[in-house]
Amino acid sequence: MSIDFRFTEEQEEFRELLTGFAERELLPRYVERSASTDFPFDALRQLGDLGVLGIGMPERFGGTGEDDPVLLGLATETLARGDVNLASAPIQVGLVAAQLVHGSEAVQERYLPGLIAGEHNLAIALTEPGSGSDAAALRTTATRVPGGWRLNGEKTAISWATTAVAAVVYAREPGTTRSGGVSCLVVPLDAEGVTRRHMLGMGCLPLGWGSLHFDDVFVPDENLVGEEGRGFQVAMHHFDFSRAAIGLMCLGAAERSLEEAAVYATQREAFGKPIAQLQGVSFPIAEHATYIEGARWVSYKALWAREQGRAHTSLASMSKWWAPVVAKNAIEAAMKIHGNLGYSAEFPLQQRYRDVTAYLVADGTAEIQQGIISKEILGSGRVADY
Ligand SMILES: Cc1cc2nc3c(=O)[nH]c(=O)nc-3n(C[C@H](O)[C@H](O)[C@H](O)COP(=O)(O)OP(=O)(O)OC[C@H]3O[C@@H](n4cnc5c(N)ncnc54)[C@H](O)[C@@H]3O)c2cc1C
């Protein structure tokens, strides 16, 4: 069979549905929503109703049942045209749920239906004040006690820290080092001993970014996810999915920005003609459209490879380091084409720039991704992914 870059009919239908939703429901209030630290749960429930949060989730809890990473990527790319922050919700839900399905029946019943319906969300707490890129250096401890664990430590820079009902927390058995002895525990954030602190970022305000402090918090046995002491490996596997989806999300915001710039360039006149007729304006549009298209297909290939059960760690890292850079640069170019309006807080361009910039760091920096890619190339001696 020859190579085929087309989406299926079902995927195209879903994309059309979400494009309409992003344009009509999300985009008009994006700037207003982004200025607030309140998460718009009304819009999250709309995503639940559209079925976006149930892709690949167990059918008995309201999901589609069938794993479809490409569809999830398509959804995040499309939704980001309207609101980048809301577009991150399916990725967060996908990451959390991929872990909860390895939890007890009680944990699944408590959290999965609400996640899929968009009624609540959970945070993922890995980063600590002393360990980010070097996640295996985490220090939060989970000490065995009758009926469960006692959790002590601090997590920082956590999305949804202020609004989540619970967090998926990575903590180690005292005395263990690196990835050994790390377990994944679901911790209700109203439990005794949990304190939350909001952190203000340059964008992504509705995502409730912040730190979580655990002071002798009791976590019952049933809240263990996966095998005790093997939580780290599971977390790393799922990041291969989120990295490619994040790339597409950033690109969705960039596509919309560049399209706005193309329209504006045909309307705005300078020196007696539309600025679109100036190559200094039209060539950057062509250049950034080229980068966007290239980065899109690296990201979709990573998701396709995941769906096919093929190795995709390197492709996922390529999407994660490159796509946010491509998106940020394209949005910057679109801002410049809009002149003073591009800088105006009344327009979405500056907001997209600030929101997309988060993903140069969140979920792993470019240096960490390039370390993963180069290790694979140096090991195999091959560059192209056949
Ligand atoms: C908006 C946002 C949302 C986030 N959400 C979450 C979340 O929900 N959950 C969560 O657990 N974390 C979250 N994070 C944290 C994020 O994953 C970390 O910030 C990231 O992994 C980097 O860790 P760090 O900030 O500690 O930087 P460091 O690890 O201290 O890195 C500092 C600098 O050193 C470089 N560096 C480090 N190691 C190497 C190396 N080996 N080679 C070359 N350069 C290196 C890095 O690239 C970086 O430039 C979020 C971050 C942001 C900005």
Residue 202 · residue 357 · CB < 8 Å = yes
pLDDT value at position 386? Answer: 80
How many angstroms separate the CA atoms of 44 and 53, rounded? 9
Q: How far is the CA of 127 from the centre of ligand 1 (A)?
A: 8
Whether the CB of 184 sits within 6 Å of ligand 1: no
Tell me, using a 6 A CB cutoff, whether residue 363 lines ligand 1: yes
How confident is the model over 251-257, as a mean pLDDT?
A: 98
Burial 193-215 (b: 16+ CB within 10 A, else e): ebebeeeebebbbbbbbbbbebe
- The DSSP symbol for 324 reads H
- Mean pLDDT across the chain: 96
Atom 4 (ligand 1): residue with closest C-alpha?
362
Q: What is the dihedral of CA 303, 307, 308, 311, to 10 degrees?
A: 50
Is the sign of the CA dihedral 334, 325, 37, 28 positive or negative? positive
Q: Is the CB of 126 under 6 A from ligand 1?
A: yes
Per-residue pLDDT band at 239 (split at 50, 70, 90): confident
Q: Is 169 in the pocket of ligand 1 (CB under 6 A)?
A: no
Residues 313-328 have pLDDT tens digits of 999 999 999 999 999 9
Q: What is the β-pairing status of strands 210-220 and 148-158?
A: antiparallel
Which residues make Cβ contacts (< 8 Å) with residue 220, sequence separation at least 6?
A: 147, 148
Indicate whether residue 212 lines ligand 1 (CB < 6 A).
no
From atom 3 of ligand 1, which residue's Cα is the shortest distance away?
A: 362
Is 157's C-beta closer than 6 angstroms to any atom of ligand 1?
A: yes
Indicate yes or no: pTM above 0.95.
yes
